[in-house]
Chain A
Amino acid sequence: MAFLNTAEDDQKMFYDNETFELEPDYDAGSDSDSRRSESATRHSKSNSNQSVIITSETGRQFDDNFILKARGWNETDSDTKEKVKKNHNHALPQQIPLQRIKATPRIEVKPSFTSITANSHGIEHTYDESKSKTLSVNDVSLIEDNDDPLLGQNLNNLIRRRKLSSKKGSKRRRPSSRRGIVPGLENHEFMRRQRLLPKGDKGSENEDYMRLYKENQDESTEEEIFQNIKLQKDIIESIRTQPWRMRRKLKTLQLAKSYVEKYEGRLSRSHGYQEAGAKFWRMFKREATNFFALFIPWEMRIKRTESHFGSVVASYFIFMRWIFGVNLILSLITVGFIMIPEIILGDPHGSTARKTVPAEESDHAMDLKTLWNFDGYLEYSPIFYGYYGNEKVIGSWYRLPLAYLLVGLATYGYSFVTILRKMAHNARESKLVSKGDQYTFSWKLYSTWDFMIGNAETAHNKFAAIATSFREAIIEEEEKKKEDNRYLLIFLRILANIFVLAVLGASAYTVFLVVERSQHFEQKVKEQGPDSVNWWEANEVAIVMSLITLLFPSLFELIGMMEKYHPRVNLRWQLARILVLYLLNLYTLCFALFHKINFLKEQYADNVSSMQAANLTCFQKNESTFNTSCAEAAASQRVLLDTCWETMVGQEMVKLTVFDLLTTVGGILVIDFFRGLVVRYANFCCCWDLERKFPEYGEFKIAENVLHVIYNQGMIWMGTFFAPALPAVNILKLLILFYVRSWAVLVCNIPHERVFRASRSNNFYFFLVLVMLFLCTFPTGYAVVLIEPSPHCGPFSGHKYMYSVITDTIQQEFPDWLIMVFDYASSPGVIIPVFLLLIMIIYYLTSLSRSYKEANNDLKVQLHYERTEEKRKIYAMADAKAAKLPANKASTPNSKSADDTKVSPTVPGVNILRAVSPSAALGVSVNVLRGVTRQVQRPQMQDQGQEDGARGRARLQSLHLNEL
């Protein structure tokens, strides 16, 4: 027994402020044995009058440790329970005399955490007596009847370790435990068990304190320490997700941490450094998150809205914030890589024709009216495409034209990537939801209440809404079969769609018409100065388009009313129609603009030829006869030279953006604010209830508003190539909109009664954004690839097409072999196989996902099967256990642990869980399976719990522990 003594003496543990005086130095290596015994003596000498000090650094006491398990496992023993409670509640015994512990004939050993608060004599005793049983170190009186079956395995570790270090006692070694000491696994098992324990049971809470532990580390091999450390790290990582009380988590965490800190360095020096690095990195990461959290804008504002209106309205603002972020990056790209280099390195303003305001316009160039139209100085500024020079290299090395094109591509690329990443993220969150998994009613019941709501009025509305939706759902369910008045309904719906088409057609026609007209007005401005057209004429395109976006959705809403769809379906139609409207508008605008470009080009070609003729005649005549027609011709030539269609498109887009802002803000003021004012203050002098009946307060139309943001973003994507400053302009716009909207929603809107569920995890918005982005790339792509750039403005002037900048660069700058590679790579010989490969990959992935779905279904079937099967088995086992229980109490722990090993393999739960867990990825969550056990134990408890609850519970627990 001598070896035991030395070994265990060290094991005495102090819950001291900083250190757990657990063991002597371990570093010593070969001479560790001698040193150990040395220090052991030292410890044992001091033992006699030591007390265990139980305070943590933060001042929380660890008294709970010393109650440890009593409550968890011996609920039945009411006496014990009471004592525990007493001890638990009464203000912490700061010091427990070691003697008391010494008197304890048992040492507590917990599996999975291999944690021990031990005292040498304790181990010695129990070990001698029972060969394997060691129990709690605690106040003896607390645990009188502790037949905890969990001990076996840890004990194994303990014993084995002891054996390893002493190289003796192989006879004593029990057959190694079934489960071994795979830390990760144990950890999971442990966690699972935690979850499975009856939750009302306060004992389970204390129970884990007992794994505030220490192990007899001086005995462990390096590998074991390593494993333990790994285990502790697992704990640290996963502790957050445990549904425990904070206090308990705190303690567990602290202990795990201190363990890791203490032993990590000892493994090896390099490991220590590695660990220090990792720790630093963790700290850094946390600080970084803390830091960046400060910069998430409008968090409070959104939260306030959220608490007033629930999470659905807030999702609009969150979406808007996301769009804002995207625009921020876009404008950083454009400003940083195009505008700033051009301003710093390019020719200064006024040095070339494309950077100077023409003389005819300079009179008006600073007029507000001119600037308002983004003419004059603004037209000849870096805001627009036309300003940029076509020198291949500006400064010493910056290739602006190339950069311009690449930035154009980068803005699209970046947008695609962010949207897709966001979508993928959301998709991961929402998991695979197949159609068979639609639990309409349960979802309705358990996720309708929006815990965000903190406003009485909203809560009231919510109650009403929920009640209505329940009724609706019930009725819907009942009326699924009944369908009356079909023909009328079908007729109405067809009619409605015809109306909608008519409206869409009208809007497209209008847009086209206005663009055509604008051509005429522009001509007039160029020729006769900006005063020749009135305000309406100058801004007709932008105004009309904004009006359409403002008014037509309401028209659709009216039309939608006659379709009598279910509100949800109705809303979808509505959204789809609005989206089509917006897209149609943008596309018509583009076509009209391209049409205009073609027209201008033709005119230019005509004029050039006629001009040359005119010039000739002018030159042929002598100076004195230089007549007005010649001057006119020169002027018109100048006009044509200045006509830069790219700038024109850019101007149009910027104008649209700005006007859209104005109409939106105007709309908010009129539709929401003034209406709210009227309703509120005119109510008392009106014969009907304004607040309830006709005008009411405005509702926040979330879906329409989201679409509006998307539409706006579409304009940005279309226009950025022609007006690099557009994202920056848009940032301003979004800022203003954000504040106005969030103000308006709090001040004048009422919470909506009908809710469209488009939550953050929902990909619907992002899908719409993606569609928008995709469609917006076409016009720009067309312009880049197929339209000849203006000859006298912009970075691509002189090229046949815009993209030739890239091909030219490749041809001229790259080495020959690389050109060859490019040539070859772009030849059909490569492209076709690559294309085929992609198709094959797609095909493979789809079939893969199909097989996952099938596996999913299989697992579901299996779940059903296991559930019934397991229940049956556990019932049987519980009965068998019940018969054995009294006997167990009497028998030695040894026989019990033998029992442990005997019974465990037959317990199906764990094995099933293991067998299934690899398929977690397939979508049937293992959680469900994990929960099975929990579920199964319940009925049993209820059955027996009624008659003798306490006993049933104890039995259940012992059963359960065996299982694990």
Chain B
Amino acid sequence: MGGSDSKFDEQELEDYQELTYFTKKEILHVHKRFTQLAPDLVEVDKNATLPQDKIMMLPELRVNPFKDRICKVFSSSGDGSMSFEDFLDMMSVFSDNAPKNVKVEYAFRIYDFDEDDMISSNDLKEVIDRLTGEQRLGEEDMQQLIDNIFSEVDLDGDENLSYAEFEHVMSKAPDFTNSFRIRL
């Protein structure tokens, strides 16, 4: 396909609406944003796959400490590059209407840096480091923090957060759905 006009036909829009949490207008808007990331590429092929650094040009991602993880998790090729459908997928997960469990699922993937389906203390460390930016925590504080987290959450005491534990905690988090969003 890949006509030079960047509009979708009705059927596609219909399907996308069925599969995302967007209205028609929003889907088109998502595409507009996608186009803005790399107008030259998308103009040629509306389903073009944009490389990771282009995707990271999205303002919300640019400042996001987990930007590379996000790209990776949503990229269908696994290398961080995204097609429009990946992008739409991402925006849908980060949209206002996506239910909590979907968000939690993806959050888990994002925070699971080594992709072993467990959040280990190394993953935690990585998250803390990224969150604090330049003002890193000292070794002691870090350890203290990690210990606290495990003592709260790690039900089975294996020093790892499984998805079940993660979901259990996050499903109760009052702010999670609210902060795990990206502007359309």
Contact = CB atoms under 8 A, between A and B. Distances in A.
Interface of A: 57-59, 195, 198-200, 202, 236, 239-241, 243, 245-247, 249-250, 253-254, 286, 289-290, 293-294, 303-304, 306-307, 310-311, 315, 429-431, 433, 437, 439-443, 445-456, 458-460, 463-464, 466-467, 470-471, 473-474, 477, 757, 759-762, 863-864, 867-868, 871, 925, 927-932, 934-935, 938-939, 941-942
B43 interface: no
Contact of A463 (B85, B133, B145): B133
B85 A437 contact: no
A459 B133 CA distance: 10
A437 B172 contact: yes
B19 A250 contact: yes
Interface secondary structure of A, over-half rule: helix
A450 B137 CA distance: 20
Contacts of A202: 78
Given A289-B23, A307-B59, A442 B149 contact: yes
Nearest to B115: A200
B91 to A, nearest CB: 11
B178 A290 contact: no
B163 A934 contact: yes
B15 interface: yes
A429 B177 contact: yes
Interface size class of B (residues with CB under 8 A): 35 or more
A446 B107 contact: yes
Contacts of A240: 18-21
A665 B164 CA distance: 50
B181 A443 contact: no
Nearest to B151: A441
Contacts of A247: 76, 85
Given A239-B18, A290-B23, A447 B162 contact: no
B175 interface: yes
A944 to B, nearest CB: 13
Contact of B162 (A290, A868, A931): A931
B20 to A, nearest CB: 7
Interface string B142-163: 0011001100110110100011
A202 B141 CA distance: 38
Nearest to A430: B174
Given A433-B172, A934-B117, 4 more contacts: A58-B15, A253-B18, A293-B26, A454-B59
B105 interface: yes
Contact of B168 (A241, A452, A928): A928
A243 B106 contact: yes
A311 B15 contact: no
Contacts of B23: 289-290, 293
26 contacts: A202-B78, A240-B18, A240-B21, A241-B99, A246-B89, A290-B23, A293-B26, A310-B179, A430-B174, A431-B171, A437-B172, A442-B170, A446-B166, A447-B173, A448-B131, A450-B179, A456-B62, A464-B135, A470-B128, A761-B174, A871-B156, A925-B171, A928-B167, A931-B163, A938-B116, A938-B117
A449 B65 CA distance: 9
Contacts of B176: 443, 446-447
A254 to B, nearest CB: 7
A306 B177 contact: no
A454 B105 CA distance: 23
A467 B59 contact: no
Most buried by A among B23, B170, B172, B177: B172
Nearest to B165: A935
Given A250-B15, A459-B63, A245 B182 contact: no
A197 to B, nearest CB: 10
B60 A470 contact: no
A57 B11 contact: yes
A1 to B, nearest CB: 41
Contact of A474 (B1, B107, B145, B184): B145
Chain B CB within 10 A, most for which of A927, A930, A935 = A935
A455 B59 CA distance: 7
B41 interface: no
A108 B111 CA distance: 37
B42 interface: no
